[in-house]
Amino acid sequence: MVEGNADQKSPENWKSPQKILVILAHPDDPEFFCGATIARWTQIGHTVEYCLLTRGDKGVRGEVVDREALMHLREEEQIQAAKVLGVSRVRFLDFEDGYLQADLAARREVVAVLREVRPDVVVTSDPTNFFHREDRINHPDHRIAGQIVCEAVYPASGNPLYYPELLEKGLLPHEVRELWLTLTAQPNMMIDVTDTWELKIMALKHHRSQIANMEEMERMQRQRRIPESSEDNPRYVDSFRRIKFR
């Protein structure tokens, strides 16, 4: 049952169940970026769907593999990981991994999904974050996926003069109420996800093609506790930049 009070257990202050659409670049992005929050949302009665812009056909570690086989493997890994978190549907668009462009065609595809799903809340990655860690450059697909989604959410999705051909398919304008940016350097929303952190780790274990050492992955994930907590009593937090349109 979804509570409406703005306390620690319900910081979003949503008064009714929300339809949440997570739109990111690659299979495994939802689990790595905000898997514990997704599990939290589904557990308390919200509906979560995924839309992945690519099928992860370049997700290798130096070796040359068959791209078609890799795509099918990563699709199946993503579907199984999403089940762990309670996600109701996973869809994949057909953009090529590593080659995402924030062009009008990509925006149109995302607008079509937004008008079909009609979510209350959209989650995507922060398009402004080039360096999300001191020792790593953010993957360009992460940033560009965020840009595509932001430009689809506003102004295109809610305006009938954008992509009028979608109207002929019955895809009427839709205005999103909230946009949540993950992988951000400018968070304004913190969600305590201690209770679902283990579910996130369980979901990540399905991405076997992307994780060379499962034990090391688990160790690193458990080290992500907030500094104020202890190893014996860890607390975990997901950070977002939340934009409320109305």
pLDDT at 61 over 70: no
Q: Is the pLDDT of residue 59 over 80?
A: no
Range of the domain at 143: 19-225+235-244
Reported as a single tens digit per residue, the pLDDT across 174-229 is 999 999 999 999 999 999 999 999 999 999 999 999 898 999 999 999 999 999 99
In a domain, 133, yes or no: yes
Answer whether residue 116 is part of any domain: yes
For residue 42, being part of any structural domain is answered with yes
CATH number at residue 117: 3.40.50.10320
Per-residue pLDDT band for 1 (boundaries 50, 70, 90) equals very low
Q: What is the pLDDT of residues 99-149, one digit of tens each?
A: 999 999 999 999 999 999 999 999 999 999 988 767 778 889 999 999 999
Q: Residue 220 falls within a domain, yes or no?
A: yes
Residue 198 forms part of a structural domain: yes
Count of domains observed in the chain: 1
Structural domain contains residue 148: yes
Residue 40 resides in a domain: yes
Q: Is 5 domain-assigned?
A: no
pLDDT digits (tens, 9 = 90+) for 93-113: 999 999 999 999 999 999 999
Structure tokens at 116: 């079909």
Record the pTM.
Answer: 0.93
The reported pLDDT for the residue numbered 188 is: 97
**CA-CA distance, 142 to 235, in Å (whole number)?**
27
